[in-house]
Amino acid sequence: MRLFYAIFLPEEVKRALVEAQGRVARYKGWREVAPHHLHVTLLFLGERPEGDLADLLALGHRLGRLHPPFTARIRGTGYFPNEGTPRVWFAKAEGEGFALLAEGLREGVRETLGEEALLAGGDKPFKPHITLARRKAPAPRVPPVVFGLEWPVTEFALVRSELKPKGPVYTILEKFPLRGEHGREQEESAGERSQDH
């Protein structure tokens, strides 16, 4: 099964991004991403055997317990690649929790399934983003779009992607709430220790 970890967006953020997609909708060379597919990929795993699923779900729950919710922001747009002919138009996502989660997932997958399980995601640096459109034929770049979007990220998910002729179908296999219990446990332990003295 083809898998990835991702953070999906609240409806109000999706609505603002869909409005921005109108900038490329007039050009046949750009194909917009469907609103229900808009997300931030934390780690792409590619094709994995079903036997890996239990480990990947356990990793998601473990990281959810370690990491607290955080605030995400979207301020502007960009292209991959930035120079030359772009293939992807995206919205830049900001928030320190993105990189912490992505790195935790990479480390966890490496420890559990080995380095081979990370090959599908490539070795490019992690840049949190939301793909808005893909370029399928010659089409112009559109000017940058400025956003002032912000939302609380309270969970992430393990997602199955099935490639169909009309486009991918995403199925959320499980959601992992961000609890940050590790930090609370430390604070509580410190509090208990101070009361002991």
Annotated catalytic residues are 39, 129
Residue 103 Cα distances to 90, 94, 96, 110, angstroms: 21, 15, 11, 10
The span from the CA of 70 to the CA of 68, in Å, is: 6
Q: How far apart are CA 11 and CA 69, in angstroms?
A: 18
Rounded-to-integer distance, Cα 79 and Cα 9, Å? 20
Strands (E), 67-126: 70-80, 88-94
Beta carbons within 8 Å of 132's beta carbon, 6+ residues apart:
17, 20, 21, 24, 32, 33, 38, 77, 89, 90, 91
Alpha carbon distance 88, 111 (integer Å): 32
Token pair of 169 as six digits? 């179908």
Residues 6+ apart with CB under 8 A from 20: 77, 91, 132, 145, 147
